[in-house]
Each structure stands twice: as C-alpha cells, then as structure tokens.
Amino acid sequence: MCGIIGYTGTHPALPVLLEGLKRLEYRGYDSAGVAVLQEGTIAVEKKKGRLENLRQATKDRRFTGCAGIGHTRWATHGEPSDRNSHPHTSADGSIALVHNGIIENHARLRAFLERQGYVFQSQTDTEVLVHLIAHHFKGDLVSAVRDALYLAEGSYAICVVEQSHPDTIVCARKDSPLIIGLGEGENFVASDIPAILKYTRRCYLLDDYEMALISPQHVTVLDRNAKPVSKAVFDVNWDENAAERGGYAHFMLKEIHEEDKAISETLAPRLKEHEITLENIDLAGVAHHARRVFIVACGTAYHAGMIAKYTWESVLKIPVEVDYASEFRYRSPLIGSDDLLIVISQSGETADTLAALRLGKKCGAQVLAITNVVGSSISREADSVLYTWAGPEIAVASTKAYCTQVLCLALLMLRIGYEKGVFDATTYAQHLDELKRLPQLAREILKNEGQIKDLAHRYCSLSDAYFIGRNIDYAMALEGSLKLKEISYIHSEAITAGELKHGPIALLEQGSLLIVPATQPALFDKVASNMIESKARGAHLLAITTAEAHSILDCANDVVLVPSLSPWCMPIIAIIPMQLFAYYCAVERGYDVDKPRNLAKSVTVE
C-alpha cells in the first residue's frame, strides 16, 4: 500500500521525509520518492526498489529546503519503475504531487489532457492529477487542487507543493486516509500515524472531501466548499508497533477488517453502472472458443479457484479443472491452445505457480493471472492480468487476498456469462447490484466479531476440528480449515459432508468439533443429515449458515448467521467468520498470529 509523508518547518525536510518513509516501509512498497521546495524550485528524486536506493540517490545532491513531500509506492497502474514512482510533476516542474488511491476515470482525463497538449511521463493514473492541477492553477493552489479533484473519480489522499509557495503543502482526501501531525513551528502530513510518531502525537484526522493548507505555523482545514472546518485534536496513545497495525493487535485482524475496503477497491474500477469492464482480457475469446479452463494455484489461492470450479461449471457450462500448482506440472496435463489457464497468486512470486504458468504457456494455452502484486513475476509472464486491489497483505495467513480472488473470479464469470448470453440484461443487472452490496455486507458480518471471539474462547483448547461442507461450502471448508491449522496449530481437516460416513466419521467422539459452512439451499437437508449422523456420535456442531436454513438451524449447537447470496458471492462474505474464528483461537492459545511457525508469506522455492 502506498505511503505519504509531508513536512513543513524549520529543519531540513529531507531527513524528516526519509525517516517518515522508513516508518511506512512495513506497508510494502516497490519504489519511493521525495520532492523538496527550495530556492524557488522543487528538487525531486525518485527510485525504484528499496528506500536505500532513494537514500543513496539523494546523498550526492543538495537538499536544503525545509518543506517537502515523500511517497512509497505500491504499484497499481504501471509497473514499478523510477518513472512511475511519485512524486509526479507538472511539465515545467513547478508543481509536485504524491497520491494514494486509484483515479478511476484516469483514462478519460488523460485523453482530455493530451488533447490540451500535456505530455505524460508515466503510466500511472496519478499523473493526470498533477497536470489537472497545473491546468487550473492561476496563482491559488487550494483552488487549483479543488478544481482538479472535482473532476477526479475514485479514491485519493494527495499532497501537493508548488514552487511559489515555498513553505506550504496542500492536501486532500477521499476514501484514503490522511492525517495532519501538529508540531511546534512545524507541521506534518501523512497517510499513517507511524510516519509522524517520532515528532508528535497530536493529530487532525481528515475526513472525506476535506482539504488542508499546511505551513509551519498554521494548519487550515477546509470542507468541500472551501469553508474552514474546526477539527478536534486526536491524541495518539498507541506505541509504534500498534500504530503500524492501525491500533489492531495483529496485521491479520487489521487485514480482516480491511476486507470491505479491499472488495470496494477491487470492484470500483471494474463495475460501472450496468457493466463489468475488465482490462485487456479477451472475454469473447474465452466465452466462445475456450474448450476448458484450468485453474492452478497454491494454498488459499487454490481454495479460491475451487469456488470457481463449482460456479463456472454450473453457470458457464465450461469444464474447469483445478490443480495444486505443485502437482500440475508433474501430471502431464492435457492442456493446449484451446484452453484458458488461470493462475492465482497473492504474491505473484510463488515458485510452483510460476512454473505452472510457464508450462501452460509452453503448451500454447492463454494464461490469465489473478494477482495482488503489480510487477510480480507472474504478472509479467502472464498473457493478461486481473489484479486484486487488496493492498499489501502482511500477515502470513491470507485473508483479504482470498476475498478479492473469489471476487475477481466472480467478475470474470459474470462478464463471460453475459458475453455468452447466459444472462439476460435484467438478471445481469441484478447480479451487479448484488456485487455492489458486498462491502456493506462484509461490514455487517464483522459486527459479529464478539460472538465468534466467544466461540473461539470455548473451543480453542481442542486438539482437532473438522470442517464439513458440500459444493462451494466444501471449498470454503478447505479454506476455513487451512486458516485454523496454520495459525492456531489445531489439527483440522476439511471433508466433503457426504464422504464423512465413508471413513472420517470413525474419528468423531464425544466433544469433537464440526464446523459446517452451509450456504446452499439445495443442499441444506443433505448437509443436515450428515450433521445429525455426527451429532449422534457426540460431535458438537457449529454452523455458518443463513436464516432460511431451517434444517441446519434445527440441529446445530451454535450458529453464526450470514446473508443469503448467490454461490459466487457467498464465499467472499461467509469466509469471514472462519477467518475470525481461526484468529481468536490462535490468540487464545498465545501464538504469534502474524508469523506462524514454519511458514513464509511468499514461497519462492519449489
């Protein structure tokens, strides 16, 4: 996730900016840059890679100014490179800007600006903002920023400097956080509290559509009509580590709480009023010519792929094979030029998945990657890429990446289905409306956190747990089970509910815990029978189900309710209670949730 820092005061700005960026490193980034106001101009330096590269590049240059802005970039539009790094500058170098967020209508704005003669230096969505500000600038920076933002759709936290305002930073936010740190004779602005904690603990938290004009002595916050707003000071009492986690006890919990935002950000650029727009993907080719779809991935990403097997086959009537990447290349898969290979990887660097991608390409298949990391090996080698805009995932246990992977697969399925004529316009519109409700539904499920925490408290001392389900609920059971075992070290297995009586039921005894995602109305009664069989052997039944599932509700000992949704949307939301359950079991057992034993975030060896 990108990070922003700005400083205006009496000390040289560069060390403050570099220190602030260092404090933001934990968020993940692939390039960094600074812009410092000095001697009537703006000195800019930016470098791909680690902050150390930027530090080295600034060493041999004179940075004397006492006001400036800095940025760490997590690539979205455009690969990680020096050019795509922030700050971006106006053509004459008189204005510099850093931005967090996504400008959704950047293509339209870019075309407009190019018609006006503006020449773009980068592939980013951000660069439109600096040219728009330059276009509107008539001596008043606040007005120019406001006029430019009026035209921008999407999310932003921005900081802007202009060379004739030597100690002033103008900033603004919408749907992306920005705080102002209040010092003595100096002030700060940042995307996150850790960036400024070394200097001050007194902040203003900007709200959406607010702007601020910051100088060493004054901070003026303005509302969307440019009227001054009086803000309450927020006193930060977190220590530095807690501040990095936004006040949450662990990154995993923070990332679960970011799922609504990750879903919104993944949807926003793709979902217009009545249409799903997917960048650079040959949808007609898939809809009309793909013989089969292969989905290949590891771990959580594989479980996201399993969901698509069930939904794509039933809706699109295209055969879908799902493979663990580590197995795919050793089974001589019959894949060829009529097939689509979808590889899914949060990191985009998983060695097995990359090897599967290469094999698929060698066999002539079209390769589509679903990944979270722009510029990753998988994104570079695939024929086309659909990004999950989940933001960096730091906890080893994958949570928000899973939700957005399932969401991307649902977007693809709906768009291909429409292309194939599977849905009429009305049904298609209803499906799009359902997608739009997902962020709100995620927030509502998170309100049940207390109930799930209590359940975890009751069951965390068990040594085994069994997850059962049918169809997509089985795919969810696999993911719920993986979450539980990888962080709480409770042995757990996912079993298709119908297979229980073919062997695994022998494991059940008095007090065994069965966790039952049951979200498919057509299967409620069948799953309820399996639950009753298990209860008769002493098992305790915890169901994650809907209010309509009467047969399930009748036999479960504990119930966590989830809303009724289509099968392709259901797992995006219904996985949240299982993620929270795993999280609280691990916390109760006293384990290091974010760094479970023996596991790495990215597995770059076979």
Residues that bind ligand M6R (CB under 6 A): 298-301, 345-347, 350, 353, 396-398, 482, 486, 599, 602-603
Yes or no: say if 199 and 184 are a contact pair by the CB < 8 Å rule.
no
CB of 293 to ligand M6R, least distance (A): 19
Bridge partners of 190, per DSSP, are: 5, 179
Instruction: Determine which one of 2, 66, 460, 585 is catalytic.
Output: 2
Closer residue to ligand M6R in complex, CB, 544/582: 582
Q: Is the dihedral of CA 564, 568, 569, 573 positive or negative?
A: positive
Distance CA 392, CA 397 (A): 13
What DSSP string runs through 310-327?
HHHHHHH---EEEEEHHH
How many alpha carbons lie under 13 Å from residue 519 in its C-beta half-sphere?
27
Name the residue number minimizing CB distance to ligand M6R.
Answer: 299
Closer residue to ligand M6R in complex, CB, 453/601: 601
Distance CA 489, CA 482 (A): 10
CB of 60 to ligand M6R, least distance (A): 38
**In terms of C-beta density within 10 A (0-12 exposed, 13-18 middle, 19 or more buried), how is residue 126 classed?**
buried
Closer residue to ligand M6R in complex, CB, 102/357: 357
* Residue count of the chain: 606
The H or E element that residue 482 is part of is helix 472-488
Q: What separation, in Å, do the N-terminal and C-terminal C-alpha atoms of the chain show?
A: 28
CB of 255 to ligand M6R, least distance (A): 11
Give the helix ranges, DSSP H, for 317-386.
325-328, 351-362, 377-381
Closer residue to ligand M6R in complex, CB, 136/303: 303
DSSP E strands: which ranges in 141-210? 156-162, 169-174, 179-182, 187-190, 202-205
In the structure encoding, which two tokens stand for residue 298, read together?
A: 């590891």
Bridge partners of 167, per DSSP, are: none
**Paired sense of beta strands 366-371 and 491-496, if any:** unpaired
CB of 32 to ligand M6R, least distance (A): 23
CB of 565 to ligand M6R, least distance (A): 23
Closer residue to ligand M6R in complex, CB, 263/301: 301
CB of 275 to ligand M6R, least distance (A): 29
Q: Residue 46's Cα: distance from chain center in Å?
A: 25
- Amino acid sitting at position 241: N
Instruction: Determine which one of 231, 535, 595, 601 is catalytic.
Output: 601
Closer residue to ligand M6R in complex, CB, 203/403: 403
Distance CA 54, CA 18 (A): 9
Yes or no: say if 550 and 518 are a contact pair by the CB < 8 Å rule.
no
Closer residue to ligand M6R in complex, CB, 29/63: 29
Catalytic, 2? Answer: yes
CB of 483 to ligand M6R, least distance (A): 6
In the structure encoding, which two tokens stand for residue 45, read together?
A: 């330096």
Q: Which residues are catalytic?
A: 2, 601
